Structure 1
Amino acid sequence: MSAATMNDEVDKIERTGGCLCGSVRYVVTGAPLRVGLCHCQDCKRTSGSTYSAFAVWPRSAYQCKGELAAFNGRGFCPACGSRVVNLRDDEAEIMTGTLDDAPNDLLPTYELWTPRREAWLHNLPWADQFAGDRTEEGQNWREARRV
């Protein structure tokens, strides 16, 4: 199989997901732009957990059925309260726990707000570590200053 054929197949992959009650359903198509974890206080509070895990797709790759409510850009189901997506003009940040199938192939490549990571959690040794938000120093964010 050629690299072009493999890329075509990845571009056609559809992943489905939604909220706990099923009122909000979505489809994302293709490979995500990036996958990460965030340990900031906002993500802890909105997820109800010690961190949030997410994958970011181009906004054009995201389709949603059902009504989303929003608070500070965080989209959630108004019926059951599940946090589903953060929508921006050009990106859709999907909470990976809302995917129907376990996202075992979506490995985080970076962690945000690492000083706020719980002491009993260890860093992902293969992932870039950022003390705050992902920075945009230069065109390639991987070149950004790391902790």
Structure 2
Amino acid sequence: MSVKIEINNEGSHFVSNVHNGQVDMQLDLPMAAGAPYSGYSPVDLLLSSIAYCKLATVRFIAMKNQWKLEKITAQLEMKEDMTGELPETSVSMKMQIQGELKEEQKAQLLAAANHCHVHQLLEGNWKIEDIQLESEVLS
């Protein structure tokens, strides 16, 4: 699977526009970095991706099984530990599932959510290549 995005930053501020071929999104740095904070930060976007993938997985499994799922709410928290030889990051998530569901159905939904695609990607092996400078203006 190949995914492509384009990001554009102009002027002297940090606000950047991201386009995935269909939808635009605005990213920014938090106020702590001196920015007005008018969009998602890179970390906000990463955590949102994890949360959305898990919620969408829960919704998909419930729909597939024709279970009455009304509402899903989740909270994520990321903690970074920089004290060791290598930085360690942990993400915890709490989820509330509302609907006419038995406890075993909820357990099945959570088990599926813990194996969502983004979760698997992030726990896999990553190779992030060095940036290549493009001499021509991209359109």
Instruction: Judge same fold: TM > 0.5, yes or no.
Output: no
Greater per-residue helix proportion? 2
Q: What's the TM-score bracket when you normalise by the shorter of the two chains? A: under 0.3
TM-score (norm 2): 0.24
Q: Which has the higher contact order (CA 8 A, sep 6+)?
A: 1
